[in-house]
């Protein structure tokens, strides 16, 4: 990969945000960040990292390593970063499309100018990759949504979107691991739990895992 210019900015007294995005989300950039993330965690003075979509937030103790020094290390790590291949677990989530818990199914099909059968068929034929986990506990950012299925987020987030809701927002797919507000559209639900705080690790899905959706039922 041609190494693109990265932007590094301060997120307060003890964090730097490394942004490697060049326009639309890139799987290739993300694979380089996966590899780099492991190395960043080994830098003395780094406390933890939070991988985002084509970016990574690095939390550090500024009394152990200052922002200028850390930025220099991050730039050099980026130049040396290789794409990481992860042989992740393959998860198949059975989805009940539509019905009370899939309120946006019909409008989604309409938006895509397809039949309900078509959108569901395309959604289930996709192979999704967990690009990052974040935002809320165990929430997977899935890449791999068929661009024809993309749908801009709601103008106003909906409160109380239920755990297990299968959702899409712009060009991304996901599943709600807990009940929380969300601006994404609700296509259906799965009964597979994605988050359990008493487990180690607490999240079912890990970065690099593959997710597939299967039809449990379609209710129109």
Partner 1 sequence: MIEILTTGQLNTIQDLGRPGYLAFGISHSGAMDRPALEVANLLLGNDRMAAGIEVAYFPFRARFNVNCNVAVTGVDCQVLIGDRIYPSWWAVHIQQGQTIILNRPRSGARAYLAFAGGIDVPLLMGSRATDVKSGFGGLKGAGLTRGDRLNLMPGNKILLPEGGLGVKWAGQAENPGEPPITIRVLPAAEFDDFTPESKHAFTTEIWIITANANRMGYHLNGSVLALAKPLELHSHGIVAGTVQVPRSGQPIIQLADANTCGGYPKIATVIDADLYKLAQASATTPLRFSIASTDEAVNAILMRRNAMTKLQIDLRLHLGY
Cα 52 to the chain's mean position, in Å? 7
Question: Which of 102, 87, 70, 72 minimizes the C-alpha distance to 190?
Answer: 102
Point out which span in 18-26, 88-96, 103-111, 118-126 binds partner 1 (CB under 8 A): 18-26
The verdict on 132 binding partner 1 (CB under 8 A) reads: yes
Question: Which of 153, 151, 136, 132 minimizes the C-alpha distance to 29?
Answer: 132
Task: Find the binding residues for partner 1 in span 155-184 (CB under 8 A).
Answer: 177-178, 180
Our CA dihedral for 126, 130, 133, 136, rounded to 10 degrees, sits at 20
The CA distance from 193 to 95, in Å, is 12
> Binding partner 1 by CB under 8 A: which of 31, 40, 55, 188?
55
> Binding partner 1 by CB under 8 A: which of 39, 43, 45, 53?
53
The verdict on 21 binding partner 1 (CB under 8 A) reads: yes
The verdict on 188 binding partner 1 (CB under 8 A) reads: no
Is 130:139 a contact under the CB 8 Å cutoff? no
> Binding partner 1 by CB under 8 A: which of 36, 51, 173, 176?
51
- Of 149 and 204, which has the nearer Cβ to partner 1? 204
The verdict on 48 binding partner 1 (CB under 8 A) reads: yes
Secondary structure element (H or E) that encloses residue 77, with its range: helix 67-80
Point out which span in 61-69, 89-97, 115-123, 184-192 binds partner 1 (CB under 8 A): 61-69
The CA distance from 20 to 159, in Å, is 32
The CA distance from 59 to 105, in Å, is 40
Which residues contact partner 1 by CB under 8 A?
7, 9-15, 17, 19, 21, 25, 47-57, 59, 62-63, 66-67, 132-139, 141, 177-178, 180, 197-198, 201-203, 207
């Amino acid at each position: 990969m041609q190494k693109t210019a990265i932007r590094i900015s301060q997120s307060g007294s003890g964090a730097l945000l490394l942004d490697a995005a060049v326009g639309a989300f890139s799987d290739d950039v993300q694979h380089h960040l996966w590899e780099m993330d492991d190395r960043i965690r080994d830098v003395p003075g780094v406390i933890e990292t939070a991988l985002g979509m084509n970016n990574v937030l690095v939390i550090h103790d500024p009394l152990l390593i200052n922002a200028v020094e850390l930025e220099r290390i991050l730039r050099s790590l980026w130049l040396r970063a290789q794409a990481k291949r992860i042989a992740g677990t393959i998860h198949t989530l059975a989805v009940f499309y539509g019905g009370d818990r899939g309120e946006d199914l019909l409008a989604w099909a309409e938006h895509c100018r397809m039949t309900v059968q078509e959108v569901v068929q395309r959604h289930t034929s996709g192979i999704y990759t967990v690009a990052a986990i974040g935002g809320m506990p165990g929430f997977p950012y899935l890449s791999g949504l068929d661009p024809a299925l993309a749908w801009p987020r709601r103008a106003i987030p909906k409160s109380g979107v239920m755990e297990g809701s299968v959702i899409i927002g712009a060009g991304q797919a996901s599943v709600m691991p807990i009940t929380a507000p969300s601006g994404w559209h609700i296509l259906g639900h799965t009964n597979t739990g994605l988050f359990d705080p008493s487990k180690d690790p607490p999240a079912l899905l890990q970065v690099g895992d593959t997710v597939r959706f299967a039809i449990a039922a379609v209710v129109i």
